Structures are given as structure tokens and as C-alpha cells.
Amino acid sequence: MMLDSLMEERVRKLRHLQALGFDAYPATVRRTAAIGKISDSFPAWSRGGKKVYVAARIKSLRDQGGIVFITIADASGEIQAVLQKTNLKDFDLWKSSLDIGDFVEVGGTLFKTKRGEKSIEAKTLRLIVKALRPIPSEFYGLHNTETRLRKRYLDLLTHPELRDLFRRKNIFWKTIREFLTREGFLEVDTPTLEATPGGADAEPFVTHHNALDTDFYLRISLEIALKKLLVGGYDKVFEIGRVFRNEGIDAEHLQDYTAMEFYLAYADHEDMMRLVERMYKELVKAVCGSTITVYDGKKIDWGKKWPKIDYYTIFREKTGLDLTGATREELFRKAQEKNLQPERRSGRGRLIDFIFKKTVRPEFIQPCFLTGHPLDISPLAKNDAKNPDKVLRFQVMAAGSELGNGWAELNNPEEQRRRFGEQMKLREAGDKEAQRLDEDFLEAMEYGMPPTAGFGLSERVFAVLMDKPIRETVFFPPMRRKD
């Protein structure tokens, strides 16, 4: 039967019930407890033949003449309801009117079948929602990836394991929040709209504020606002919030996603690495139940001590180029040699980062800290006093990806202004992702920001732990509009 015919049949049933005076969408529902709670304490709930009420969606219907078995499920579990002609008023009406997907309220006594199946013998039944569309598995299934992502509610409805994935995601953010709170950090909220986007190399989304008649940008990171709070006197702050980047779509990138950043005053990047390693190990264990995970068929051991790997050394080993003296032109030629198709307007820093991501980063499978980054790719990090071409930065690397970014924060306003100037030159040359001169931030820094270490991660970490593309781990990823 085609979808239109199935819907017409359901509407016909609805109209028939309405003509008989039944409200198919009542405002109140009787519900003694969630199904899972009843199931967990089944002997207590069934003792003495007490009447209980459950309310849930019909998952299956088995008509055996004078008796109908229906499986009903809510978010906590499922139970079998037994409808018998001898026990239930309007049995024939409900037998002919109910469909898979409808919500019902069932009142009755609990018992177990001969097979030990937990059941409720229906004494009363009430339709509380008539579903006008059949769930996909009834007539064609739900397998196409784009359809699943576009109609995520159906994906969740037909794939219980997906609902479990998002419960794990709740554990992911909850664990980070609890870890940082236990370490004495203050959770804060900062604006999503910014006059000047900053804190990352990314192209922002722009919007217009009608009341102020001013253009604003959706933030591309949480960094700048949190640093201003350090100027204001806080020592330990963190935020978990949405950020937006107007960039390409792939297995690792979203344009609208949740990130976390935290800042620790009077600490350096070495202090931060020790804190981050502890946090990740606790996080992985809480989400996965073990410090061993699998990504793309490779076993990853998060529980071992994480080694430190120097950026310049690994870059030279994998590409043959020494970044100490490599010019922009040499980097461009190397990218061409490797068939990476670099953009001709890219500056030296952008080329370093581009080559690294394409040729070096995929080699990092086991967790480690990548340290000693070039100044060219780190406009907000403090210089390494031992080598002015490097900064005091680290990245968490694993599963062939960057899974966290930290550094000793640059707090010299004059040096920050100089670096912003270099970034603005790149913007003028056509680099849309180069950072912008932020006078408001510079003014704040001129009042003095304490020595600080900062770190940030995104939900990409969760996607790696789940061994899935990142779009599969968010409820409603951005999709191309269907005309």
C-alpha cells in the first residue's frame, strides 16, 4: 500500500473516532510510572493485583481474534499490553482503530506470560495520540543517510542504538563540566554575537541586529570573551557553547557545533598538558567504559602516558622540509609536488598548516601532544623564549586528527597588535580565514592579563570516540535546503 493510501486509512480511523466523541489528542494522561521503572521493580508493582497506568507508543500489533497483543514503548523501555474482548470495553473499536505509531494509555494489572514476558492486562484503554503517518519501517525502511539526517526524529524512532549514542554524548559534556568544576573552574556564558570575530582562523557568519542597526558576527570561538574575564579578575573560567564557522563540510567539520574552552591563570602550557591528559582519560572512561577505543579499525589506547612530539621534527621527517628556513615559495612547491592543490594566495603559515594537515596529521593514531608550533600558525600564543620562531602551544593528536588545542596565552598587548597586523595583511591579500584586528580586545589586554594557559576542544572528540563522522553525532546537522 502506498504512503498516501496508508495516511488516508489512518485519517479515516481518526474521523470515525471523532464522530463517536473520542478525543484523539487529550491534554491530560494517566501514567503511574515510566515503563522502565515498572519493569525494574516488576514484582513490587504487580503485587496484590494493583492497577497501574502506562502511556507509550505502539511498536507492534498482533491480532489473534479475541485477543490483541501490542508492544508499547516509551523512552525508558517497553512492555506488552494484552487486550482481551472479555476484559476491555470497546474492544472491537480499538482493535480496528489502532495503528503502529499511535500513543495509548493502558490501565490494568501486571503479570508475566508463560514465556516470562512482562505484560499488562488491559482493563482500560485510551487513545492519546493518533499518528497520521506510518513510521518508515512499516513500508520502506529508513536507510538513506541524507534522509536519516534530515528527518532525524524518524532515525531516532527506528534506531534505539542511536538514542543511546546521544545519551553518551550527554555523559561526554557532563563529565567535562564536572571535572572542571571539581578543579575550581567557574562556568560562564558569553555572547554568541560579536562585533569582531576572533580566537581562530575561520570565516564567520554575519547577521544584522535591527534594533542597533549594526552588523554582528556569529562567534567562531569562545576565546576572546573568556580572556577578557581574566582581565576582569577571574583566575579559572570555562564555557561550553555553540560556535559557528562558515567552512566546508567533511567527516571532521560542522558549521554549527558545540565547543569548550577553559583558561587557567598563573599556569603555563606544561601545567595545562598535565591537566588535559587527566581530563581526557577520565572523559574516555566515562563515555566508553574503558580507556581503549577503536577508530576506523584501529585500536587507540588513551590510558598510557602521552608522549610529546615536536612539530618541526615530525614535519621534517614526513615532508623533507626544515621549517627553520623554509620559505613561502618552497612550501608552495612542496604542496604542489604532493598534488595538494594549494591556493596561490596562501601565506607561509597557511601553507605550513595545509601541508601538515594533509601529510603529517593522518600519521598520529595513538594519543600524544604535538608541541613547538611555528609562530606563523599561532597568532594568539606566547613565544618560546628559547626559539622566537616557535610558540608555547600544544595539540592533542589521535586517530589522525587534532582533538584539542592549548597554549600559553599571549598577554603582551604590543606583540598581539603586531601579530594582528600581520594577519590583516593576509586578509588584504585574500585570506578570508585570517584573524582581524580587534581593538576592543587589545584595549582589555593593555589593562593587564595575568600569565595564563588555555585549552579548547569540540565535539569532534566525541565523534572519534564513537567512531563516526561528526554529522552522525549531532541531532540536526545543517542540510542543503530542498526546493
Q: Is the dihedral angle over the CA atoms 417, 422, 425, 431 positive or is it negative?
A: negative
Total domains in the chain come to 2
Verify that 345 and 467 share a domain, yes or no.
Answer: yes
Are residues 260 and 115 both part of a single domain? no
Q: Which amino acid is at 253?
A: H
Q: Which domain holds residue 459?
A: 155-473
Among 141, 167, 190, the domain boundary falls at 141
Please tell me whether residues 136 and 280 are part of one structural domain.
no
| 148 domain-assigned | no
Residue 417 pLDDT exceeds 80: yes
Average pLDDT for the chain: 93
Task: Specify the pTM.
Answer: 0.91
Convert the pLDDT of each residue in 225-255 to its tens digit.
Answer: 999 999 999 999 999 999 999 988 887 888 9
d(CA 352, CA 372): 13
Q: Pseudo-torsion of CA 83, 87, 90, 94, nearest 10°?
A: 0
Q: How many other C-beta atoms are found inside a 10 Å radius of the C-beta of residue 480?
A: 8
Lowest-confidence pick of 85-94, 283-292, 430-439, 442-451: 430-439
Instruction: List the CATH number of the domain containing 305.
Output: 3.30.930.10
Residues 34 and 90 in one domain: yes
Q: Is 253 helix (H, G, I), strand (E, B) or coil?
A: strand
- pLDDT surpassing 60 at residue 134: yes
Q: For residue 42, is pLDDT > 90? A: yes
Q: Given this model, what pLDDT does residue 139 score?
A: 43
Question: Which of 115, 141, 167 lies at the terminal end of a domain, its last residue?
Answer: 141
Grid look-up 574552552 returns: 261
Cell 611555528 locates to 374
Taking the C-alpha atoms of residue 367 and residue 394, their distance in angstroms, rounded to an integer, is 12
